[in-house]
Amino acid sequence: MGLFDKFKEVTRKVSEVENNIYHEKRDYLEIYERNIELEKAIAERTEELNDANKRMFTLQHIWDMMNSSTPLENVMEAIVNSTQGELGYMHCVIIKKSVDKDGVFMNILAQSNDGLIDRLNNLIGTPGIQTRRLNYDSESVFADAMRRRTIIQTKSIDLSLRAVLPELSSETVQKIISNQPVKSVIVIPLITQNQEFGWFCVFTARDELASAEMDFLGLFAKQIEMAITIADLFQAVREQAVTDALTGLYNRRYFEEAIEKEVQRAKRQNQPFSVIGIDLDYLKKINDTYGHYYGDLAIKTISEVLKSNARSVDVPARMGGEEFNVLLPGIGSEGAMIAAERIRKSIEHVEIETIGHITGSLGVATYFEHTENVEELLELTDQAMYTSKREGRNRVTIAKPITEVSWQEVAVNTFLDILSKNRIPMAQHLSKELCLKLRAPVNKDELSNDSLYTVADMLAKMYNPMHSSGIVKNKVLMAVSLAKRFDLPKEDIDNLRVAILLYDIGNLMLPQDLLQKSAPLTDDEREQIKNHPIIAAQKILKPISYVQDILPIIEHHHENWDGSGYPNKLAKEDIPLTSQIILIIDQYFALIEPRPYRGKLSARDALDIIKADSGKKWNANLVKEFISLIEHDIV
């Protein structure tokens, strides 16, 4: 082979190598590009699978709730929060279509907890959108979706907002829709049992939704409709257990559950709510004059007034007997007073067969404004209601904050609570008699203490037949004079006044033959009697929220200065001074009053006994001031 042939052969082989390299490079590129496409497809399928899993998880969560006795409102809240949180929407809401005497309207049943709704509420002000009566516009996207029974996606967020809140100014609407990520709203009609229920609305940051997502939302709407139907059935059964049989209003149990939920909502959305307390005037007189049939008729009349004046979100309830409460979500004290006055006038306006006209006494208290404790809120409502009673009935009274309530009001309402709720053993007729004394009308500007001292004397006489009328008043006046010698603040003195009225009430829970025994007590009997401060503080008074500051005074009023007292063997400065004041006054009056086992002592003999225990049973300074006080009176 010549040189030229060899060159051609080498060139041919080089070309073959180059061709092979080229083809291999092209194959590699094709494989690389296919791998990229495959990885992209895998990522897309994985994302779709994750979305599908989230949707299935959400559906499973709702199915679990549907197959339980979970209340409808809880199912609704779970739906919107699951959809918003797990599926990544900006906001979700379930809106109900309703009809009343004023026409068709819309109201929110549930909405997800997110920054979007907080921003909206901040801009539209109080009340928030969740407690408002929303306008129904027959030309809106909501009406269109319901008519066509189809899902509609709209980018006209401003028109949708103006449709439900036409009172908003253009400036406010622009503030709401500007500088926020929502691009469109998906409106899904909800049909349950062939009835137009409302809409499930989803706010999203995407301009367009994939057809698969729209299909899912359609499927999801069907599950929501089924959830509503099932939950409604459970709700119907549940309402039988939480509804008052006579009036059809909610009962105390439901009201207490509702107000606890409202507290959580109020804290979450930083919005107030109010409670109106209503007490039918003169029910006993109606029963005695016309019979219980007409008493029940008067109670039912009040219930009808409450129903006709209630918004869809309000909770009117019969708390027992002739007492009613109305929970007003999202309403401050000013609005609550207007609502209460409207109820009062409506009650007064109704004419009942045979009876004629009836009236009610009303009280109003507002969460956040008057207190942030729900028990105190209800107590304040009761106090305001009882104030309306005492000031002439057929009126509305706004509650005072706890710090502004007089000691007489606290004492009167504490006795009313104890008596009306049977916290002590007592014949029902006597309990009612004492309540009537406490509720008797008094001067508007100054509470009369006579009925208060009379009731306290009557209760003392039940466990101590030798108790003399007027003693309680003397004890209170003496305690106040002694406390002022130690420069105690007004709040402490007022607490002491109330404690003097209540400190021995625990004796009503002890066997009467034990308290009146003339023979010496056995050790076991003595230990039994020592329990009365604990009984008074913990068993009788502890459930009453507004006397909590008084409980330690009562619980420790048998503690001795040297630590030999009971129930906790406190000593010296650990004992509240107010408790020591009660102890020394109690001892003094026990000595100068007769007892089954001895006659009464003179004031001077009693002071000698007290003086002998100075530094042991009492603080020496307290004894000195007490003796000075008493000697001034007996000179």
CB 79 within 8 A of CB 110: yes
| Rounded alpha-carbon distances, angstroms, from residue 195 to 145, 191, 481 | 14, 5, 72
pLDDT(422) > 80: yes
pLDDT, mean of residues 149-157: 91
Mean pLDDT over the full length of the chain: 82
Give the strand pairing for 152-154 and 134-135. Answer: unpaired
Using DSSP, state whether 104 is helix, strand or coil: strand
| Rounded alpha-carbon distances, angstroms, from residue 234 to 70, 81, 240 | 8, 21, 10
Question: C-alpha angle with apex 308: 303 to 312, nearest 5 degrees?
Answer: 105
With bands split at pLDDT 50, 70 and 90, how would you rate the model's confidence at 18? low
Q: Kindly state the DSSP code that residue 599 receives in the 8-state scheme.
A: P
- Tell me which H or E stretch contains 8: helix 3-66
DSSP letter string over 238-271? HHHHHB-TTT-SB-HHHHHHHHHHHHHHHHHHT-
Burial of 567 (0-12, 13-18, 19+ CB in 10 A): middle
pLDDT, mean of residues 554-579: 90
- Tell me which H or E stretch contains 97: strand 91-100
pLDDT(147) > 90: yes
Helix axes 170-177, 115-124, angle to 10 degrees: 160
Q: What residues are paired with 106 via a beta bridge?
A: 97, 134
**What's at 292, amino acid-wise?**
H
Report how far apart the first and last C-alpha atoms of the chain are (Å, whole number).
Answer: 156
Using DSSP, state whether 413 is helix, strand or coil: helix
Distance between CA atoms of residues 475 and 483, nearest Å:
12
Cβ contacts of 413 within 8 Å, gap of 6 or more = 379, 382, 383, 386, 546
Regarding predicted confidence, which is higher, 306 or 100?
A: 306
At which residue do the structure tokens 């009971």 appear?
566
With bands split at pLDDT 50, 70 and 90, how would you rate the model's confidence at 361? very high
Per-residue pLDDT of 156-186, as tens digits, reads 988 999 999 999 888 888 888 888 888 899 9
| Rounded alpha-carbon distances, angstroms, from residue 169 to 116, 130, 162, 173 | 19, 19, 9, 6
CB 472 within 8 A of CB 453: yes
Q: What is the pLDDT of residue 618?
A: 87
pLDDT, mean of residues 262-283: 93
How many other C-beta atoms are found inside a 10 Å radius of the C-beta of residue 379? 24
**Would the CA dihedral through 23, 25, 27, 29 be positive or negative?**
negative
Per-residue pLDDT of 52-98, as tens digits, reads 555 555 556 655 655 555 666 777 787 788 777 666 788 889 999 99
| Rounded alpha-carbon distances, angstroms, from residue 421 to 307, 455, 543, 612 | 27, 16, 11, 43
Cis peptide before 552 (omega within 30 of 0): no
CB 368 within 8 A of CB 272: yes
**What's at 486, amino acid-wise?**
F
At which residue do the structure tokens 């919005």 appear?
271
| Rounded alpha-carbon distances, angstroms, from residue 631 to 91, 274, 635 | 76, 53, 6
How many other C-beta atoms are found inside a 10 Å radius of the C-beta of residue 564? 11
Regarding predicted confidence, which is higher, 211 or 240?
A: 211
Give the strand pairing for 396-398 and 323-329. Answer: unpaired
Q: What is the pLDDT of residue 446?
A: 40
Q: State which of 120-134, 308-322, 474-488 shows the largest mean pLDDT.
A: 308-322
Per-residue pLDDT of 193-223, as tens digits, reads 788 999 999 998 888 877 777 877 787 778 7
CB 423 within 8 A of CB 396: no
Q: What is the pLDDT of residue 164?
A: 92
**Would the CA dihedral through 465, 466, 472, 473 be positive or negative?**
positive
CB 336 within 8 A of CB 384: no
**What's at 173, amino acid-wise?**
V
Per-residue pLDDT of 497-516, as tens digits, reads 998 988 888 777 767 666 66
Distance between CA atoms of residues 338 and 334, nearest Å:
7
Distance between CA atoms of residues 277 and 325, nearest Å:
5
Q: What is the pLDDT of residue 237?
A: 63
Distance between CA atoms of residues 434 and 444, nearest Å:
21
At which residue do the structure tokens 């009349």 appear?
301
Regarding predicted confidence, which is higher, 443 or 497?
A: 497
Backbone φ, ψ for residue 102 (5° rounding): -95, 0
Q: What is the pLDDT of residue 190?
A: 92
Range of lowest pLDDT (58-72, 368-382, 526-540): 58-72
With bands split at pLDDT 50, 70 and 90, how would you rate the model's confidence at 444? very low
Give the strand pairing for 315-320 and 323-329. Answer: antiparallel
Range of lowest pLDDT (128-132, 134-138, 151-155, 578-582): 128-132
Cis peptide before 567 (omega within 30 of 0): yes
Cβ contacts of 261 within 8 Å, gap of 6 or more = 73
In angstroms and rounded to an integer, the radius of gyration of the C-alpha atoms of the chain is 37
DSSP letter string over 35-73? HHHHHHHHHHHHHHHHHHHHHHHHHHHHHHHHTTT--HH
Distance between CA atoms of residues 483 and 486, nearest Å:
5
Distance between CA atoms of residues 241 and 234, nearest Å:
11
- pTM recorded for the entire structure: 0.45
pLDDT(252) > 50: yes
Distance between CA atoms of residues 284 and 299, nearest Å:
12
Q: Kindly state the DSSP code that residue 127 receives in the 8-state scheme.
A: S
Range of lowest pLDDT (140-144, 191-195, 321-325, 436-440): 436-440
Q: What is the pLDDT of residue 481?
A: 83
Backbone φ, ψ for residue 326 (5° rounding): -130, 125
Regarding predicted confidence, which is higher, 381 or 526?
A: 381
pLDDT(12) > 80: no
At which residue do the structure tokens 């008043």 appear?
473
Q: Kindly state the DSSP code that residue 618 receives in the 8-state scheme.
A: B
Q: Which of 256, 220, 237, 243 is nearest to 68 (CA)?
A: 237
